[in-house]
A and B are shown apart, each in its own frame.
Chain A
Amino acid sequence: MARVSPILREVLAHIFKKPATQKYPEVKPKVPSGFRGKQIFNISLCIGCGLCSRDCPAKAIEMVDVEGKMRPLFHLDRCIFCYQCAESCPRGAIKSSEIFELASASKSNLVVKPKEESVDGGGTVI
């Protein structure tokens, strides 16, 4: 019979240790900087070139007309959060936020519209 397996001691010791479970949603995880969450779009930097829409692998960006200029509309239900759009953008108008709780009961909530006021100033450059 081989040596006594160390599992016996380990299992008993675990009764007294703190559980490894995170008590979500009471305790929210801390996401690191550089996390790829919901997009933040800075409309003042956009030049309407459409490269983001052309390069999106999931066809999640639609160029819509906003006051005569073409601006991107992000469909979050199709987005795969790869942030190729942020890389392709020549002016750095797309940034990532740390918002990851994006579940919604209707698809109409899952868009990031190109509004005049920029959302949440800040965010991280990918």
Chain B
Amino acid sequence: MRDISVFLKDLSNILGSKILQTRIFRPEKICIQVQAGAHRDAIKFILEQDENAGISAITGIDLGEKIELMYHIRTYGTIITIGTEVPKKNAKIESITDLIPGANFHEREASDLLGVFFEGHPNPKRLILPEDWPGNIFPLRKDAPITNIPSKMEGSGHVEQVSYDGRLINIVMGPQHPALIEPERFSLKVEGEIVRQVEPRIGYVHRGIEKATESRTYLQNIYLVERVCGICNAAHAVCFCQAIEAIMGVNIPSRAKYLRTIILELNRIHSHMLLLGHAFLEVGYETLFHYMWRDREPIMDIMENLTGNRVITSFITIGGVRRDLREEYIPIIKAELAKLKDKIDFYRQIFENDSTIKVRTKGIGVLSKHDALKLCVVGPVARGSGVRIDVRRDEPYAAYNEIEFNVITYDDGDSWARFMVRLDEIVESINIIQYALDHLPSGPYRVRVPRIVPAGEAISRVEAPRGELFYYVKSNGTAYPERVKIRTPTFSNIPSFIHIAEGCNIADVPAIFSSLDPCFSCTDR
């Protein structure tokens, strides 16, 4: 890893006086504040140093007179933040989509929720808020009057189901569609059976969770962010609690770290099995869908025994975990996991030998490594295209620095590779849990922390089942947080769907879509 001081020296040589100040986010992440307009030079410099750099998130904070925009760049296994400020009355800044195409969605979201206009953006349309939202109310601003929105205007809510655009038929994979588990709208322009263009519209499940965190205490917020996504709820809770523990400077006990690792890996197993079952359904293989979900039941029972509930675990709190793992339960967990390992072997043989599955997934929906890096995709989608990123390896959290495991990558880049990555990750997770159970340290499982969180900022990243989950938390010393920014993995992955789907058969679209593992509750928050 490059030495950070050398990096800073080179950067200040390039930018000179445009660097205003540098500050440190906990834990040990650097933020370089630059003058407005100089952010493009800074980002260009980072891209020259590391061609694999990608954007992780763009955070906007309302500071009263100004809006602060922070570009979090993921490079060399860590996050370097470039911060800049724009005045609120005239919030305009140059877009960086020509440098990093993956910043497309992030900029649209910032302009939707904060009212910042990005000059040079190729498609500055609404992303998260509905079309008939009043154009002068930006929810994430502190003074936004969101309690009394006037009733819906007569708007263009009607979308033609089928319209003809020259030779192209516009088929709407609409908010209600059997292939989508959650509602989003994808307008596919098809010519015969080939898809030519895809236009996504997300925001159907937007609940305003980021704004809601600003009016609840930290303890209440744990349960709120857990419900951003039901399937990866443990990852959200761990990420949030880690950020707060970093601000407070609290170290959680070893046993708590191992227990957090165990629940995170259980979450990963059940999420991958859910997705693989759903993917089988998409290709028409109902039998395996039923078998996979039946084999998922022991994992849900383990989680119920461990935490009291099957899906939303509510296991994590600030300072550790809420309950202990009983000694007599450990052999039962290990027996169930051993049985599951054999079953996964069965599914692996099917994936490798069944000709109808291979004909539906091999070579379908190829995402090349170059495109994966340019579009800044994360998680199994990236690892299926040969990009070796995994937060558990790059920046270990919880107990991952003490446990050996493999980062699974496949180079094919097609749907089959993405499914195989997930299948192999289930086996890795089983190994991690077994190791953690064997080496569970004794001691307390939580520490008591004060109720008031001191002022500070922190960034926290966790490898959720779908990819890198990014949290930025800013506290101002009161009982309520100043800003909580959540960037979920599917939000970064959806632009890759647009790229993959163009040029493929319309019959392949559901199969490709489910190989990306979309979770729209995460995307919209």
The reply, when asked whether chain A contacts chain B directly with Cβ atoms under 8 A, is: yes
- A57 pairs with B223, CB closer than 8 A: yes
Q: Is A7 an interface residue (CB 8 A)?
A: yes
Question: Is A34 within 8 A of B323, CB to CB?
Answer: yes
Please state if A7 and B223 are interface contacts (CB–CB under 8 Å). no
A83 to B223, CA, bound (A): 11
Say yes or no: B323 contacts A84, CB within 8 Å: no
Q: Which residue on B lies nearest to A54, using beta carbons?
A: B217
Please, how many angstroms separate the alpha-carbon atoms of A32 and B216 in the complex? Answer: 32
Please tell me which one of the listed residues B217, B308, B346 contacts residue A6 in the complex, with CB atoms under 8 A apart. B346
Chain B residues 275 to 331 lying within 8 A of chain A, measured CB to CB, are 287-288, 291, 294, 297, 301, 304-305, 307-309, 312, 314, 317, 322-323
A57 with B220: CB separation less than 8 A: yes
- Taken residue by residue from 1 to 13, chain A's Cβ proximity to chain B (1 for < 8 Å, 0 otherwise) reads as 1111111001100
Q: Which residue of B lies closest to A2 (CB)?
A: B353
* Docked pose: A20 CA to B223 CA in angstroms: 33
Residues of A near B301 (CB, < 8 A) are 32
What string of 1s and 0s marks CB contacts (under 8 Å) between A78-120 and chain B?
0011111001000000001000000000000000000000000
A5 and B354 within 8 A (CB) = yes
A1-51, CB < 8 A from B:
1-7, 10-11, 20, 31-32, 34-36
Contacts of A96 in B (CB 8 A): 308
B193 within 8 A of A: no
CA distance A94 to B227 in the complex (A): 23
- Which of B219, B304, B355 is in CB contact (< 8 Å) with A31? B304
Chain A's closest residue to B216 (CB) is A57
Rounded to whole Å, the gap between the CB of B224 and the closest CB of chain A is: 6
Residue of B nearest to A124 (CB): B308
- Give the chain A neighbours of B309 by CB distance below 8 A: 35-36, 81
A82, B294: Cβ atoms closer than 8 Å: no
Question: A3 to B353, Cβ gap below 8 A?
Answer: yes
Give A53-89 interface residues, CB cut-off 8 Å to B: 55-58, 80-84, 87
The answer on a CB contact under 8 Å between A83 and B304 is no
State whether B288 touches A83 (Cβ < 8 A): no
Those of B200-224 within 8 Å (CB) of chain A: 216-217, 219-224
- Return chain B residues, CB-CB under 8 Å to A2: 352-353, 355
Shortest beta-carbon distance, B316 to chain A, in Å? 11
Docked pose: A59 CA to B297 CA in angstroms: 32
Contact in complex: A5, B349 (CB < 8 Å): yes
Cβ contact within 8 Å between B223 and A82: yes
Residue of A nearest to B223 (CB): A57
Q: Are B346 and A10 in contact (CB under 8 A)?
A: yes
Set of chain A residues within 8 Å of B221, measured between Cβ atoms? 57
Could you say which residues of chain A place their CB within 8 Å of the CB of B354? 5, 7
| Contact of A87 with B322 at beta-carbon distance under 8 Å, contacts A2-B352, A34-B308, A82-B223 already known | yes
Q: Are A4 and B308 in contact (CB under 8 A)?
A: no
Knowing A6-B349, A32-B304, A36-B309, the reply to whether A55 touches B219 (Cβ < 8 A) is: yes
Which A residue sits closest to B352, measured CB to CB? A2
Partner of A34, one of B227, B291, B305, B349: B305
Q: Does B350 interact with chain A (Cβ within 8 Å)?
A: yes
Identify the closest chain A residue to B301 (Cβ). A32
Taking CB atoms, residues of chain A closer than 8 Å to B308 are 34-36, 83, 96, 126
Q: How far does the Cβ of A9 sit from chain B's closest Cβ, in whole Å? A: 11
Nearest B residue to A56, CB-CB: B220
Query: Using Cβ atoms and an 8 Å threshold, which residues of chain A touch B317?
Result: 87
Q: Are A83 and B346 in contact (CB under 8 A)?
A: no
User: Separation in Å of the A76 CB from the closest CB of chain B?
Assistant: 15
Residue among B219, B301, B350, B355 with most chain A CB within 10 A: B219
Q: CB-CB < 8 A to A20: which residues of B?
A: 294, 297
Interface positions of B from 245 to 270, Cβ below 8 Å from A: none
Q: Which residues of B sit under 8 angstroms from A35, Cβ to Cβ? A: 304, 308-309
Contact B219 A84 (CB under 8 A): yes
Given contacts A1-B355, A35-B304, contact A7 B220 (CB under 8 A): no
Chain B residue nearest to A88 in the complex (CB): B219
Give chain A residues whose Cβ lies under 8 Å from the Cβ of B288: 7
A2 to B362, CA, bound (A): 14
- A87's nearest neighbour on chain B, judged by CB, is B322
How far apart are B111's CB and chain A's nearest CB, in angstroms? 31
Highest count of chain A CB atoms <10 Å: which of B301, B314, B346, B350: B314
Q: Which of B348-362 contact A (CB under 8 A)?
A: 349-350, 352-355
Residues of A within 8 A of B287 (CB): 7, 11
CA A2 to CA B354, docked complex, whole Å: 8
- CB-based nearest B residue for A86: B322
Docked-complex contact B350 and A5, CB < 8 angstroms: yes
CA distance A36 to B223 in the complex (A): 15
Question: Closest residue to A81 on the B side, CB-wise?
Answer: B309
Contact A55 B353, beta carbon cutoff 8 Å: no
Give the shortest distance, in Å, between A65 (CB) and chain B (any CB).
Answer: 25
Do residues B223 and A80 form an inter-chain contact, with CB atoms below 8 A?
yes
Q: How far is the CB of B360 from chain A (nearest CB, A)?
A: 14
Question: A4 vs B349: C-alpha distance in the bound complex, in angstroms?
Answer: 10
- Residue of A at shortest CB range from B221? A57
Partner of B350, one of A7, A58, A126: A7
Interface centre among A1, A5, A20, A58 (most CB of B within 10 A): A5
A residues near B352, Cβ cutoff 8 Å: 2
Known interface pairs A10-B346, A57-B223, A126-B323; 4 further A-B residue pairs with C-beta atoms within 8 A, sorted by A's residue number: A3-B353, A34-B305, A57-B224, A87-B317
Which B residues have a C-beta under 8 Å from some C-beta of A?
A: 216-217, 219-224, 227, 287-288, 291, 294, 297, 301, 304-305, 307-309, 312, 314, 317, 322-323, 346, 349-350, 352-355
Q: Can you list 5 residue pairs at the A/B interface with Cβ under 8 Å?
A: A5-B350, A6-B350, A10-B291, A31-B304, A84-B220
A-B pairs with lowest CB-CB distance, top 4: A57-B220, A36-B308, A57-B223, A5-B354
Give A contacts to B, CB under 8 Å: 1-7, 10-11, 20, 31-32, 34-36, 55-58, 80-84, 87, 96, 126
